[in-house]
Amino acid sequence: MKQVASKISDFLFNFNVKNADLISKLIIGFALLNIIVLLPDVYDLYSLDGYIQSELNDKYMYAYNPLLNWVLTPLDNLGFSNKMGLLMIIGMYIFSLFFVMIRYKPFIFSIVAWLIHVMIVNSSYYFSYGADYFITFSLFANVILHLDVILKDKKVIAALHSFVIRFMQIQLCFVYFFAGFGKMIGHDWLDGNAMWYVMNTHSPEFIQNLMPSMIDFPFILTGICWSVLFIELFYPLIVYIDKIKHAALISIVLMHVGIMFIMGLYTFGMIMILLNYIAFGHYFESFQWKRRKFKSSITPAPST
């Protein structure tokens, strides 16, 4: 029993994180990029009188879900218009991300950025999808990561950083397992029709033009479906098995690249690749190290 507890503790707290700052910068950089891309439509998406008016959106929210309304209404009472209030909140979000990026009061501003993002997502329920929720999760993980500024003991900080990476790894295992499990209990992912429908519906025109020829080779689509099913369902196992973990990680990244270009889900694909890189990117550091070692072993020794 003691051995198991020690192994769990070792797994969670003794992982050597060399690049905590880079991890934070990647998360923050992605959130910044995401909001900058959305800026032209920010008013239509998030304002109280945007495409989906707040009364309609808030109807499906619990009273405790943080909403932009919580800030916009008091600002309105202070004489700031809805538009000005929204610009102030979005500005605050961008500045908070920027301050975290330059490590100015990173703990406080990572909390501010995370909470504003939660409000933004909740206030656009009908427009929010997987990518938004994964950004929320990443910003939350970033807050835990920045707890290091209030800790003094270097050992505790190292343990905390290790914990955050393991936390993200386990989260990804849950994500992929349930994504695979959900597909496994239907029909379409087992007989190949899922890819057939998805590619006919979401893919760019040049791929859609190729779809009729797929009718003669349905096994290709069935093969893709089964591969997706296998990778997702067994991700929690294969990503930890030494001999296949690199292949597992490359496969999952390729799957997301496919999602980006076939379905046009660029933000979703990128955030998932980023999360995989943060959680398991260190696999490729050791891979590079082994390659260098292998190269040096086959380089002939200089003749004397």
Partner 1 sequence: MKTVKSILIAYLFIHFTFVLMVNLMALSKFSDATERLNSFGYAFVKCIEKPEFINKMEASIGLYVNLTGVNRGYEFFSPNVYRGSVKLIFESDQGQRLDLFQSVESKMKFLTFSLYFNSNLKDKKRRDELLKSVCLRLFSKDEDLDEVHVYADIQLFDEIQYSFKDTYIEDKGKLLLTKIKKSYHETSSI
- Of 146-205, binders to partner 1 (CB under 8 A) are 153, 155-156, 159-160, 163, 167, 170-171, 174-176, 178-179, 181-194, 196-198, 200-202
Entry field: residues in the chain: 304
Nearer to partner 1, 209 or 286 (CB): 209
CA distance 116 to 142: 14
Nearer to partner 1, 99 or 140 (CB): 140
Determine, following the binding rule CB under 8 A, whether residue 53 of this chain makes contact with partner 1.
Answer: yes
Among positions 215, 242, 299, 304, the unique one binding partner 1 when judged by CB under 8 A: 215
Among 32-40, 99-107, 234-242, 293-301, which window interacts with partner 1 (CB under 8 A)? 32-40
Least Å from the CB of residue 296 to partner 1: 39
Q: Tell which positions 241-280 bind partner 1, by CB under 8 A.
A: 264-267
Phi, psi of 105 (to 5 degrees): 45, 55
Separation in Å, CA 251 to CA 10, 113, 136, 144, 246: 28, 32, 25, 29, 9
Determine, following the binding rule CB under 8 A, whether residue 32 of this chain makes contact with partner 1.
Answer: no
Separation in Å, CA 29 to CA 13, 52, 263, 274: 26, 28, 24, 11
Nearer to partner 1, 240 or 284 (CB): 240
Least Å from the CB of residue 267 to partner 1: 6
Burial of residue 55, with CB atoms counted within 10 A of its CB: 0-12 exposed, 13-18 middle, 19 or more buried: exposed
Other C-beta atoms lying within 10 Å of the C-beta of residue 143:
21
Among positions 80, 98, 107, 133, the unique one binding partner 1 when judged by CB under 8 A: 133
Determine, following the binding rule CB under 8 A, whether residue 227 of this chain makes contact with partner 1.
Answer: no
Determine, following the binding rule CB under 8 A, whether residue 218 of this chain makes contact with partner 1.
Answer: yes
State both tokens at 27.
Answer: 């998360």
Least Å from the CB of residue 38 to partner 1: 6
Least Å from the CB of residue 299 to partner 1: 45
Q: Cα–chain-centroid distance for residue 178?
A: 16
Least Å from the CB of residue 73 to partner 1: 19
Least Å from the CB of residue 269 to partner 1: 11
Least Å from the CB of residue 226 to partner 1: 14
Determine, following the binding rule CB under 8 A, whether residue 75 of this chain makes contact with partner 1.
Answer: no
Residues 258-267: contacts with CB under 8 Å, at least 24 apart: 261/204, 262/198, 262/199, 262/202, 262/203, 262/204, 262/207, 263/198, 263/202, 263/203, 264/202, 264/204, 265/130, 265/131, 267/34, 267/37, 267/131
Least Å from the CB of residue 287 to partner 1: 28
Nearer to partner 1, 71 or 214 (CB): 214
**Residue (of 234, 129, 226) closest to 173 by Cα position:** 234
Determine, following the binding rule CB under 8 A, whether residue 207 of this chain makes contact with partner 1.
Answer: no
Expressed in angstroms, the distance from the first to the final Cα of the chain is 57
Nearer to partner 1, 202 or 246 (CB): 202
Q: Tell which positions 97-126 bind partner 1, by CB under 8 A.
A: 118, 121-122, 124, 126
Nearer to partner 1, 42 or 284 (CB): 42
> CB–CB of 93/83 below 8 Å?
no
